[in-house]
Structure 1
Amino acid sequence: MQQLVKRNITQHIQDQKNKFPIIALTGPRQSGKTTLLKNIFKDYRYISLENPDVRAFANEDPKAFLNEYNDKVIFDEVQKVPLLFSYLQGIVDDSKIMGQFILSGSQNFHLIQGITQSLAGRVALFKLLPFDLSELNADNLLEDSFTNTCVKGFYPAIYDRDIQPSVYFANYIQTYVEKDVTELLNIKDLQAFRTFIGLCANQAGQLLNLSALANACNISQPTAKNWLAVLESSYIIYLLQPYHENFNKRLVKTPKLYFYDTGLLCHLLKIKSGKALTTNRLKGNIFENMVISEFQKQNYHNYLNNEYYFWQDSHANEVDLLKQTDDGFAVFEVKASQTITADLFKNLDRFELNASPKKVEKTLIYGGLNNQNRSQYKILSWKSIK
């Protein structure tokens, strides 16, 4: 299975395969995990635990199963047979072979649970998300219009097979999201869950309002919290946490909600074209979502282990993204505008004032195409994030 777009994570996985007995790769369904692993580990056997016959063998007789598949094996959707994790621990502890097993799974909760309980210290864990901007740029697949890019999204099949985003995402929700939901939760009313996902889309780029989500779906707050956790563990949404250091001001402590993929987000919001997005009231939120998610994707794909936050005080002064540096902060303001005006820098300046005397690196990421280095700011096109 040939990989069309080179994935940035490839080299980092190759770097670790001789240092850990197990490599684990997680990420959303259809993000390209199987293709990537088959390309990296060409001499490994590939075993999918989605296959009911294979899964039954593994569940009923794990010892015999692992005698059959005991070296240079890729186990896909391994979280479906959780008892394998403890058996793998014994095998790799005895063999001391590096890169003996490759694990892959699309349900983060069960995969991470299995690793932390049985395989801690034995696994190099990676996350593969849909394409990032630098991957598409490298293959000349990135348009100059951020509106078209947001609507198209970043899932490999859309680029590899030239599928219309509206067709792809309608099937994605029905086939994958609801499949994960029914496996993780006993939801009898899938329509209510579809409504819930749509309401999450309307909150993208905003402070999470759990009570509003619960009330609108006529469910309890604990149920809404569980449903949100399922969307997180299936890599549909994530919560960006606020930075809490108090610069003598009251700070917001509620996370902001984002989608990993803006194509799915636009589909849920019924935005079907870049032209439609241009005039949509949520254009700024969707652009911000794409940019913030880009930092998350490049963080995982380049194995950086950075921690990102946003900052907002009780007067709604905020910076969209914040990262601590050795001597202060790197802060980012995200604006869909293609015209640079002095007003776009005010939140960055306000944060610098609050953070004084710590050093603050200030960057504006905007909807235009030209980069600039000014004396106090870096101005970065959305296409140039790296």
Structure 2
Amino acid sequence: MDLSSPTIKSYIELLEDLLLIRSVRPWHRNVGKRNVKSPKIYIRDSGLVHALLNIGDMDDLLNHPILGMSWKGFIIENILSELPKGTEYWYYRTFSGAEIDLFITYKTKVIAIEIKKTLSPKISKGFLISCEDIMATDKYLVYGGSETYPIGGETLAVSLQGILAINEL
């Protein structure tokens, strides 16, 4: 694109100010691991993403490579819109691939959230390792289904409605 880093940064800040994108900052305290330190950028309006990509219906969306990122952005926007004041949020990722899509701190809670667009969710070893790194008190996997149930490692699989109904959020 032949743009300098300061120019790109100012464009990203403008898009954030216009509420078109959201930057989720990385958490990178010293836990003895090499962590990713660049923010993740999500377009806040998934409908806008779909329109720009000429995705006309659900079949088009389900077969499109943007599905996973669009789902994550949609879930993150919904969760963050419900958080009380004083809540902080980040994502966590190590260079070895251990990752938490969203983690939230509020009062004494450290909430780890993995987001998967699937009807049969499974937690990854990287998610569990990351939860240990950040000392998560609560662990959730938000998926495309409607039930809430344990899936191992003290993690609950929950729907979007289920995660929004949890009192800690």
Residue of structure 2 equivalent to 1:306: 87
**Structure 1 SS opposite 2:27:** coil
Q: Deviations over 1:113-142 (max 9, x none)?
A: xxxxxxxxxxxxxxxxxxxxxxxxxxxxxx
Go from structure 1 to structure 2 and tell me whether the alpha carbon gap of 1:269 and 1:374 turns closer, same or farther (over 3 Å shift). same
**Structure 2 SS opposite 1:229:** helix
The answer as to whether partners of 2:90 and 2:104 remain within 8 angstroms in 1 is yes
Residue of structure 2 equivalent to 1:79: none
Q: Deviations over 1:302-324 (max 9, x none)?
A: x4331110001111221100112
Letter in 1 for 2:59: K
Matches within 5 A, 1:114-193: none
Contiguous gaps of at least 5 residues in structure 2: 165-169
Deviation at 1:328, TM superposition (A): 5.7
Deviation at 1:337, TM superposition (A): 0.9
Letter in 2 for 1:381: S
Residue of structure 1 equivalent to 2:145: 368
Letter in 2 for 1:271: I
**Structure 2 SS opposite 1:272:** coil
Match of 2:74 among 255, 271, 290: 290
Q: Deviations over 1:67-110 (max 9, x none)?
A: xxxxxxxxxxxxxxxxxxxxxxxxxxxxxxxxxxxxxxxxxxxx
TM-score by length of 1: 0.40
The answer as to whether partners of 1:345 and 1:364 remain within 8 angstroms in 2 is no
Match of 2:55 among 246, 257, 271: 271
CA distance in structure 1 between the partners assigned to 2:33 and 2:119 by the alignment = 32
Does structure 1 residue 235 correspond to structure 2 residue 12? no
CA distance in structure 2 between the partners assigned to 1:246 and 1:274 by the alignment = 43
- Alpha-carbon RMSD across the aligned residues, in angstroms, is 2.0
Q: Deviations over 1:139-179 (max 9, x none)?
A: xxxxxxxxxxxxxxxxxxxxxxxxxxxxxxxxxxxxxxxxx
Residue of structure 2 equivalent to 1:383: 161
Deviation at 1:326, TM superposition (A): 4.4
Does structure 1 residue 322 correspond to structure 2 residue 103? yes
CA distance in structure 1 between the partners assigned to 2:106 and 2:11 by the alignment = 35
Residue of structure 2 equivalent to 1:353: 132
Letter in 1 for 2:128: D
CA distance in structure 2 between the partners assigned to 1:368 and 1:244 by the alignment = 32
The answer as to whether partners of 1:364 and 1:377 remain within 8 angstroms in 2 is yes
Letter in 2 for 1:346: K
Go from structure 1 to structure 2 and tell me whether the alpha carbon gap of 1:328 and 1:224 turns closer, same or farther (over 3 Å shift). same
The answer as to whether partners of 1:306 and 1:323 remain within 8 angstroms in 2 is yes
Task: Name the structure where helix makes up a greater proportion of residues.
Answer: 1
- Whichever of the two has the greater Rg, that structure is 1
CA distance in structure 1 between the partners assigned to 2:136 and 2:5 by the alignment = 41
Q: Deviations over 1:159-217 (max 9, x none)?
A: xxxxxxxxxxxxxxxxxxxxxxxxxxxxxxxxxxxxxxxxxxxxxxxxxxxxxxxx2xx
The answer as to whether partners of 1:284 and 1:336 remain within 8 angstroms in 2 is yes
The answer as to whether partners of 1:237 and 1:260 remain within 8 angstroms in 2 is yes
CA distance in structure 2 between the partners assigned to 1:325 and 1:219 by the alignment = 38
- Aligned residues between the structures: 163
Go from structure 1 to structure 2 and tell me whether the alpha carbon gap of 1:294 and 1:306 turns closer, same or farther (over 3 Å shift). same
Does structure 1 residue 339 correspond to structure 2 residue 120? yes
Deviation at 1:258, TM superposition (A): 0.8
Residue of structure 2 equivalent to 1:6: none
**Structure 2 SS opposite 1:308:** strand
CA distance in structure 1 between the partners assigned to 2:40 and 2:119 by the alignment = 24
Q: Deviations over 1:197-242 (max 9, x none)?
A: xxxxxxxxxxxxxxxxxx2xx4333322222222111110121000
Go from structure 1 to structure 2 and tell me whether the alpha carbon gap of 1:370 and 1:314 turns closer, same or farther (over 3 Å shift). same
